[in-house]
Amino acid sequence: MPSSSPGAGASGGVSPSNLSPIAQRILSGASAGPAPRSPATGSLILPPSAVRPSPVSTAAAAAAPTTSAPSTLTTGSSSSETPGATVVHRGAHGMDSPILWLGGQRVHSLSEHGKDVIRSMSDWAGRELPRFLKPADRIWQPSELLPDSASPDFFDEVAALRAAGANLPLDYLVVLVGDMVTEEALPSYMNMLNTLDETRDETGAADTPWAHWTRHWTAEENRHGDVLNKYLYLSGRVDMRSVETTIQRLIGSGLDPRLENNPYLCFVYTSFQERATKISHGNTARLATYYGDAPLARLTGLIASDESRHEAAYTAIVEEVLRRDPDGGVLAFADMMKKGIVMPAHFVDDGWHTEANGRGSNLFVDYATVADAIGVYTTNDYANIVEHLVKRWDIEHVPVVSGEAAEAQAFLMKHSERIRRLADLQMERRLRDRKRGKTWSSAFSWVFKREVSLV
């Protein structure tokens, strides 16, 4: 994926060379010194791949980053289970099975002990996870929140919907479209869950607790993109062909959160993402109310409520992992924080934005910058999520045994502070730019190629 800093790979990976000097100094606890800035926006130069959705948060999310280069222990032999993969005898976390590298990334990293833990959780998953789901006949459906196409009053209802959304500003619409596009890329997220060792749906209709969860979670999530898509279509405020092109391109590109086929890592990732999505949709609802669009406020508020239930499910899974495997759970949490949480839509592209705006412009970066600027999802939100999860899982008191896990535990206890320091620098710069009247903008095809401020 393109990046706002030198050295960020196409996969969205983060290595020390990808971080700006300011980020490296802050995250190591050293004096920051002068911060390099983007010539386009004046923002801190940080890799955009490590946070959903703000690009300025990514170095914070990637504190003490690790490289994803193959180990010097590589044997050069290949794996019969994963064609093209390279076998490494032992990993940094003392895993008790060979570690594989494929295309420069670690794959199938779950240890034999970890596999035993996940297998032992099957009964727990079958008993606990259904509590966080609602049957189709007892949950809201998109048609309930939109004009009824079978009603004789349909056209009047559409007119009322359009009138309610008439005052939504362009920057808000850009973020709303970006959120909808992210929701519509649901096939990629189901695909992600079905890459996981021990929890994947092996047949597409497997009768296991984990497979049941994946399918029913996906079914609930499908309503989110559906209702947002229909709302935007009826609103007449956005270029739907451009939006639809973006969705198709994003699904075709997939996503790469670097989960290593490892459910430990994935469930940390989804715990974070569901909370982030809840915050984002909640703030979208708040702003819709402010702009006088009550129907939009209602539907985005309901989406946020769904995300809250899903967050509770994924955090419960990680809590159970930590209870059964304290060291492994803490190491997984720290590993994902060091990598950084990538936005699900980090490969978003409409085929127009970069060429039209020049200066190394990137649709993901610009959409994320707008979301941060209007307060839908900010660097401080990222820090708050880290802090929340550390408290929710009581990381300070997890009874780890190994020195490596103890180091990871200490890292996690300080991680949100590092991010807040970067957030403060970002906000100070933004306020200075606004006071000085600086303006940076990009044209977005989603809103008929009109300019939207990035400050």
Q: Which of 58, 214, 246, 277 is catalytic?
A: 277
Architecture of domain 114-453: Orthogonal Bundle (1.10)
Span 373-384, pLDDT tens digits: 999 999 999 999
Whether 140 is a known active-site residue: answer yes
Averaged over 98-120, what is the pLDDT?
Answer: 88
C-alpha–C-alpha distance, residues 299 and 226, integer Å: 11
> pLDDT tens digits for 58-84?
333 333 333 333 322 222 333 445 556
> Could you confirm whether 372 is annotated as catalytic?
no
Q: Please say if 221 is a catalytic residue.
A: yes
Host H or E run for residue 75: strand 74-78
Q: Which two tokens stand for residue 10?
A: 């196409």
274 is catalytic: yes
The one-character DSSP state at 71 is P
**Which member of 224, 281, 346, 415 is catalytic?**
224
Check: CB of residue 411 under 8 Å from CB of residue 334: yes
Instruction: Give CA–CA dist 172/168, Å, rounded.
Output: 6
| Extents of the domains making up the chain | 74-103, 114-453
* pLDDT tens sequence across 258-267: 999 999 999 9
Q: Is residue 424 annotated as a catalytic residue, yes or no? A: no
Residue 220 annotated to the active site: no
Beta pairing class for 99-102 and 86-88: antiparallel
Active site residue 113: no
Q: Catalytic one among 140, 195, 220, 319?
A: 140
Sign of CA dihedral 129, 130, 136, 142: negative
| Stretch (H or E) spanning 173 | helix 170-184
pLDDT of residue 441: 95
For residue 44, what are the β-bridge partners?
37
Which residues, 6+ apart, have CB-to-CB distance to 142 below 8 Å? 223, 226, 227, 230
Alpha carbon distance 36, 22 (integer Å): 7
pLDDT at 435: 87
CA nearest neighbour of 350 among 453, 236, 226, 253? 253
Quick check: 369 and 379 in contact, CB under 8 A?
no
**What pTM was computed for the model?**
0.82
Q: Residue 200 corresponds to which amino acid?
A: R
In what helix (H) or strand (E) does residue 161 lie, and over which residues does it extend? Answer: helix 154-164
